[in-house]
C-alpha cells in the first residue's frame, strides 16, 4: 500500500523534527502491512530515522492510503493503554449494562513487587495533562445511553503519585458531564481515605476495587508478596462503605506455590470472609504475565495456570454468599492463561462470561462435561501426591 502524509501537528519548538516530517510528507512510501497500527509504527520509524529526538513532540499524523484516511497518535503518553466498550453486571439493578473500560497510562504502580503482576511495565513518564488527554480521548467512544465507567491505571487511582489530587478532581468534573450510572476505580488499601472518596462522589454509584487476592495473610505475604494485610484491607473497606461507596474485592485463583485443590478452597474461604465488606467479588484467574517471577516458575514447569473447571467450581461455591460474583477469564484457552484440555476451553469460557451477565448458576450447572474433567477430578483427589505435576 502506498501511504502519503497529508498533515501533521507538532508541539514545542523542534525545527529538526519539523524538517524530518516535512521531508517525509513530500514522499510516498510503500507499506506492505495493512493493519493501521503496524503501518503507523513503520511510518514513525522512517520519520525518526532522521531525527535523533525520536518524535517526542509529534502529536498526530493524518495519512491517506488507498481508500482510507486514518490518524496516528505518536506520543503514547496522550493515549490510554487500552479502552473498550462491553457489558458489565450492574449490581444495583441486577442486570448487564454497557460499560466503558479505560486503562490510563500513568507512572505506574508504586509497589511493583507482586509475583504474578507485570502491569506496571505499561507505565510511562507522563504528565497530569497527559492523563486528562487520555481520558478525553477514551470518552470519544462513550455510548449514547447511561453506562458504567471503569478507570484503571495498572496501579492505584487514589495514589497521588499516579493521579494527583487536582487531576482526580478534574476527572470527577469530566465524569459528571456524562451519562455515567456507576464509576469504578482500583486502588491499594493504603491510599484509601474519606477525603479522596468525596472527590469522586459525582455519580450515584461509586465503587472502589481492591486487589486483596486472598484472605490468607501467609499466601498473600509469602507467595504473592502483596505488601499489605487482611486487616489493612478491612480498614480500607470500612472507610469506603462508611463513605457511601461500595467495594469490589479481587480474589486470585491459584497464586504461585498453591496447588489446584488448595487454590479452590482458598478462594471459597476468602469469599466468605470478604463478603461482609463487598458488593461484588471478582474472581481473577491467574495468568502468566511477562517479566514476572511467576513467568520464571512457569518456564521451569513449576507452575500451571488454573483449570477452567476450577473456576467453575469456585464460582458455584462462592455464589452462595449474598454478593455478585464476576470472573473475566483473561487468556483463557492459551498456555499462559487458564485452560482445560483445549477442546472444551471456548465452551467453558463462554459459559463463565454468560454467567457474569446473569448471575444465573444454571448456566454453569448445565455445562456439558468433557473427557478432561475426569483428569481434573483425579488431580484434586490426589492433590497431595500430584502437586507440581505437569498435566496439559
pLDDT value of residue 266 = 98
Write b or e for each residue in 233-258: b if 16 or more Cβ atoms lie within 10 A of its Cβ, otherwise e: bbebbebbbebebbbbbbbbbbbbbb
In the sheet that holds 58-65, the strands lie side by side as: 29-30, 2-10, 58-65, 68-73
**pLDDT(262) > 60:** yes
pLDDT value of residue 2 = 45
Q: Distance between CA 58 and CA 11 in Å, rounded?
A: 7
Q: Where in the chain is the domain with CATH 3.20.20.70?
A: 78-386
**pLDDT(75) > 80:** no
For range 114-136, the mean pLDDT: 90
Least confident stretch, 61-70, 108-117, 208-217 = 61-70
Q: Distance between CA 238 and CA 251 in Å, rounded?
A: 18
Q: For residues 386 and 32, which has the higher predicted lDDT (pLDDT)?
A: 386
pLDDT value of residue 74 = 44
| Angle at which helices 260-274 and 308-318 cross, to 10° | 30
For all residues of the chain together, what is the average pLDDT? Answer: 85
Residue written as cell 490510563?
Answer: 104
pTM, to two decimals:
0.80
How are beta strands 205-213 and 147-152 bridged, if at all?
Answer: unpaired
pLDDT value of residue 101 = 94
For range 234-251, the mean pLDDT: 98
Other CB atoms closer than 10 Å to residue 49's CB: what's the count?
11
Backbone CA torsion sign across 254, 80, 357, 240:
positive
Q: Distance between CA 279 and CA 281 in Å, rounded?
A: 7
For range 230-255, the mean pLDDT: 98
pLDDT value of residue 65 = 47
pLDDT value of residue 56 = 37
Whether domain 78-386 has CATH 3.20.20.70 = yes
**pLDDT(375) > 60:** yes
Strand-pairing partners, residue 90, are 95
Cell numbers representing residue 232 in the block: 489493612
**pLDDT(54) > 90:** no
Beta carbons of 133 and 171 less than 8 angstroms apart: no
Least confident stretch, 4-8, 90-94, 319-323 = 4-8
**pLDDT(87) > 80:** yes
| Contacts made by residues 266-272, CB under 8 angstroms, sequence distance 24+ | 266/214, 266/216, 266/219, 267/214, 267/314, 267/318, 268/314, 268/317, 268/318, 269/215, 269/216, 270/212, 270/214, 270/215, 270/216, 271/317, 271/318, 271/321, 271/323, 271/325, 272/321
Amino acid at each position: 500500500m502506498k501511504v502519503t502524509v497529508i498533515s501533521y501537528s507538532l508541539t514545542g519548538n523542534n525545527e529538526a523534527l519539523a524538517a524530518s516530517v516535512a521531508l517525509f510528507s513530500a514522499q510516498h512510501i510503500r507499506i506492505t502491512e495493512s493493519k493501521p497500527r503496524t503501518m503507523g509504527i513503520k511510518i514513525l520509524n522512517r520519520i525518526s530515522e532522521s531525527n535523533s529526538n525520536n518524535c517526542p513532540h509529534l502529536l498526530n499524523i493524518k495519512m491517506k492510503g488507498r481508500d482510507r484516511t486514518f490518524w496516528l497518535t505518536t506520543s503514547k503518553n496522550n493515549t490510554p493503554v487500552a479502552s473498550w466498550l462491553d457489558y458489565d453486571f450492574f449490581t444495583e439493578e441486577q442486570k448487564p449494562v454497557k460499560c466503558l473500560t479505560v486503562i490510563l497510562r500513568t507512572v505506574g504502580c508504586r509497589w511493583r513487587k507482586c509475583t504474578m503482576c507485570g502491569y506496571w511495565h505499561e507505565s510511562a513518564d507522563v504528565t497530569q495533562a497527559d492523563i486528562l488527554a487520555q481520558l478525553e480521548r477514551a470518552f470519544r467512544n462513550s455510548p449514547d445511553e447511561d453506562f458504567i465507567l471503569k478507570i484503571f491505571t495498572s496501579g492505584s487511582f487514589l495514589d497521588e503519585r499516579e493521579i494527583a489530587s487536582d487531576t482526580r478532581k478534574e476527572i470527577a468534573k469530566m465524569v459528571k458531564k456524562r451519562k455515567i450510572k456507576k464509576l469504578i476505580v482500583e486502588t491499594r488499601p493504603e491510599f484509601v481515605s474519606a477525603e479522596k472518596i468525596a472527590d469522586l462522589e459525582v455519580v450515584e454509584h461509586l465503587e472502589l476495587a481492591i486487589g486483596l487476592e486472598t484472605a490468607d495473610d501467609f499466601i498473600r505475604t509469602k507467595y504473592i508478596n502483596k505488601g499489605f494485610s487482611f486487616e489493612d484491607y478491612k480498614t480500607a473497606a470500612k472507610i469506603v462503605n462508611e463513605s457511601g461507596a461500595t467495594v469490589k474485592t479481587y480474589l486470585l485463583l491459584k497464586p504461585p506455590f498453591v496447588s489446584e485443590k488448595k487454590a479452590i478452597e482458598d478462594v471459597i474461604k476468602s469469599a466468605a470472609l470478604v463478603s461482609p465488606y463487598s458488593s461484588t467479588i471478582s474472581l481473577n484467574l491467574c495468568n502468566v504475565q511477562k517479566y514476572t517471577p511467576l513467568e520464571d516458575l512457569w518456564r521451569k514447569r513449576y507452575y500451571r495456570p488454573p483449570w477452567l473447571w476450577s473456576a467453575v467450581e469456585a464460582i458455584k461455591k462462592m455464589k452462595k454468599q449474598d454478593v455478585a460474583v464476576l470472573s473475566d477469564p483473561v487468556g483463557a484457552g492459551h498456555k499462559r492463561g487458564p485452560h482445560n484440555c483445549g477442546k472444551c476451553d471456548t465452551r467453558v469460557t463462554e459459559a463463565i462470561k454468560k454467567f457474569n451477565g446473569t448471575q444465573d448458576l444454571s448456566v454453569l450447572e448445565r455445562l456439558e462435561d468433557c473427557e478432561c474433567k475426569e483428569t481434573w477430578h483425579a488431580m484434586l483427589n490426589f492433590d497431595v501426591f500430584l502437586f507440581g505435576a505437569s498435566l496439559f
